[in-house]
Structures are given as structure tokens and as C-alpha cells.
């Protein structure tokens, strides 16, 4: 694994010295201001940040505090590189969220050792956090991990101006399936549905999650409505191809799914068919993010009411809730 190391100092000479010492330790990136450091961290999260404590403009302490209040960046270990060695200074750094300090002039062996130590600790922490974010039955992301991913990807879509789509997926008449075939068979069914959703989310940024019980979510960053509809259709077809018998179903002979789709397209926010936010909610607010989930959930309800084994998309931007049936090819 090639670790990503972000070096931040307003003095290019210091950056060059750090880079020479850490050559071969990982992929090195550079920033000469606090603002650039945060921008680079948000574009691609580093595994560790070496940060000058005193910089003009945004100080290292301010950068560190900004990292620690951002759920997507708060796990980045920060090593302050500073000429100060006083206890009060270090206490202030630890209170800001620092993992360690390196004093100037820099000892090359000590720097490499401390960077490698923090990278090992982060790898262990990431593994534990990953285990805590996985649903034990299906292996998909759990509800907590989904909520964190939604917040992270929503912010990313707002910054970049990309569309983001969400599929809410429910196994039709699953209680009847459990009652008829038994819970072990029900668990096996959920695992096969989960694998289908995992396969449907093919890109690294796509996130399939078990939302609760027999309900799943598939988050599709940088995906407009048409792309989300294609994914939903592919999921429905894939589940149909599995042909899992469901003798107790009231809508199909085999296990089927109902899917609700919602999309927020920042670039098209001015057009009626794309805005998910109610008039009182700004397009960049958390209200609009919540509206994405609520709209997908309402579309799911419409799919169930419409006969199940189908996908529907709700357009709430036109002043009402027009539940559109997603067409399927024969």
C-alpha cells in the first residue's frame, strides 16, 4: 500500500528538506498555505499530514482544528513541525487534535520513525473503523457508514457541482418469505440481494448499504437521473435472473424488489425537474440532503403502491410529487 503524505509549510525549502527525508516512504504532496492544505485534503484524503504550526494567514492550529471538525478528514493524523518546544505550545497542539510533534532542526531518523509509527496506527484504526461500519449479515456498509458517506458525498457534490443519486431498495413481501421458508433462507436471500447491489455499484465511489431489515440503499455520486435509472433497471433484471422462489409473494413467483430513486443535480438546480430542495431550503443545506433521502423513500413507497417489482422516480421540483415509473426494456 502506498501511503499518501501531505507536507504543509509556507517555506518551500522546508518542504524540500522533508521530501528528501521521506522519499520512498509514500506518495508526497505539498501545500504552502493552510487554505491549500485543506483544499488538497478534501480533493484526496491523505494518510498523514506534516504541518507547520506557524504560517501566515491560516495557522497550522487552525488547519488542524478544521480537519478535526470535518467527518471526512478528522481521522487524518497530524504531526506538527515546529521550532517551539515549550509544554504549553505542545498542549495547545494536542488540544487542537495533533498526533505528534517534530522539533526543528529536524532529525531525519526520528522523522521517518514517527511518520511510520503514525501510519501504522492509522492503518490499525482504519481497519477497526471499517469492521465497525460493516453489516454483519450482508457485508455491505451499515446504516452508520451510509449516513457518513451520504454527508461526505453530498458535500463533495455541492463543491464540484456534480449530480448525486440515491436508490432506496426493498425486498418485496420479505416477511412472508421469512415466514414461509424460515429465517436461514431469509438471511441467504438478503445476502444474494446485497451481492447484486454490490455488483451494481461498480465504481469506487458507489456505496451499497443495508439501511435496515430488508431495506437497502445504493448511493451513486456523480450520477444524473438517467444513470440512476439504468442502475435500477439492471438491479431489477439481475434479481429476476436469480429466480429465487417466493411462493408466499402476492406480486411475483420469485423474489422481486421495489426501488425508489431520487437525484439532485446542482448544475440543473434552476430547472424544475431537478431541484429536490423545498423552496424554503437552500440547495447547499442539509435540508436538501435530507430531501434526497426522503424523496427516494417516497418514490419507494410509490413503487410498492404501484404493484412492486418496479422502480419509480419522484420529481418534487415541479411543485408537486410526480412519481414517474422507470421504463424497463423487454
| Closest by CA position to 318, among listed 263, 266, 265, 272 | 272
Helix (H, G, I), strand (E, B) or coil at 143: helix
Question: CA-to-CA distance for 117 and 123, rounded, in angstroms?
Answer: 10
Residues sharing a CB contact under 8 Å with residue 124, sequence separation 6 or more, in sequence order: none
Least confidently predicted of 85-99, 193-207, 306-320: 306-320
pLDDT above 90 as % of the chain = 70
- Return the biggest CA–CA distance within the chain: 74
Could you give the CA distance from residue 296 to residue 146 in angstroms, rounded to a whole number?
15
Instruction: List, in order of start, the domains of the chain with CATH numbers.
Output: 4-132 (3.40.50.2300), 143-325 (3.30.70.270)
The SS3 assignment for 33 reads coil
How many other C-beta atoms are found inside a 10 Å radius of the C-beta of residue 235? 24
* Residue 43 is a catalytic residue: no
pLDDT digits (tens, 9 = 90+) for 185-222: 999 999 999 999 999 988 888 999 999 999 999 999 99
The three-class DSSP label of residue 79 is strand
Report how far residue 27's alpha carbon sits from residue 3's, in angstroms, rounded to the nearest whole number: 6
pTM of the model: 0.67
Q: Please report the pLDDT score of residue 173 as a whole number.
A: 96
Active-site residue (options: 43, 88, 195, 214): 214
Q: Read off the pLDDT of residues 253-300 as tens digits, 9 standing for 90 and up.
A: 999 999 999 998 866 544 433 333 333 334 445 677 888 999 999 999
Q: How far is CA 60 from the centre of its chain?
A: 27
Amino acid at each position: 500500500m502506498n501511503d499518501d503524505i501531505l507536507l504543509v509549510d509556507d517555506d518551500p525549502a522546508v518542504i524540500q528538506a522533508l521530501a528528501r527525508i521521506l522519499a520512498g516512504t509514500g506518495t508526497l504532496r505539498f501545500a504552502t498555505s493552510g487554505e491549500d492544505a485543506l483544499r488538497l485534503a478534501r480533493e484526496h484524503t491523505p494518510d498523514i499530514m506534516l504541518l507547520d504550526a506557524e504560517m501566515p494567514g491560516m495557522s497550522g492550529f487552525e488547519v488542524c482544528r478544521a480537519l478535526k471538525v470535518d467527518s471526512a478528514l478528522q481521522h487524518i493524523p497530524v504531526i506538527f513541525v515546529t521550532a517551539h518546544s515549550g509544554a504549553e505550545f505542545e498542549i495547545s497542539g494536542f488540544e487542537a487534535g495533533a498526533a505528534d510533534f517534530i522539533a526543528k532542526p529536524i532529525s531525519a531518523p526520528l522523522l521517518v520513525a514517527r511518520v511510520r509509527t503514525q501510519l501504522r496506527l492509522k492503518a490499525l484504526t482504519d481497519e477497526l473503523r471499517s469492521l465497525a461500519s460493516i453489516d454483519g449479515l450482508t457485508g455491505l456498509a451499515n446504516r452508520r457508514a451510509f449516513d457518513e458517506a451520504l454527508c461526505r458525498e453530498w458535500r463533495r457534490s455541492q463543491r464540484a457541482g456534480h449530480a448525486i443519486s440515491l436508490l432506496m431498495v426493498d425486498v418485496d413481501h420479505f416477511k412472508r418469505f421469512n415466514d414461509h421458508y424460515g429465517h436461514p433462507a431469509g438471511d441467504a436471500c438478503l445476502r444474494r440481494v446485497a451481492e447484486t447491489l454490490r455488483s451494481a455499484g461498480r465504481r469506487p465511489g458507489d456505496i451499497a448499504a443495508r439501511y435496515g431489515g430488508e431495506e437497502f440503499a445504493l448511493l451513486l455520486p456523480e450520477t444524473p437521473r438517467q444513470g440512476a435509472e439504468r442502475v435500477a433497471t439492471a438491479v431489477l433484471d439481475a434479481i429476476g435472473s436469480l429466480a429465487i422462489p417466493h411462493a408466499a409473494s402476492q406480486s411475483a413467483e420469485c423474489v422481486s424488489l421495489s426501488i425508489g430513486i431520487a437525484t439532485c443535480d446542482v448544475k440543473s438546480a434552476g430547472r424544475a425537474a431537478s431541484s429536490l430542495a423545498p423552496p424554503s431550503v437552500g440547495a447547499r443545506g442539509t435540508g436538501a440532503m435530507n430531501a434526497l433521502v426522503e424523496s427516494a423513500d417516497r418514490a419507494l413507497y410509490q413503487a410498492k403502491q404501484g404493484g412492486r417489482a418496479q422502480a419509480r422516480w419522484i420529481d418534487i421540483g415541479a411543485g408537486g410529487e410526480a412519481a414517474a415509473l422507470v421504463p424497463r426494456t423487454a
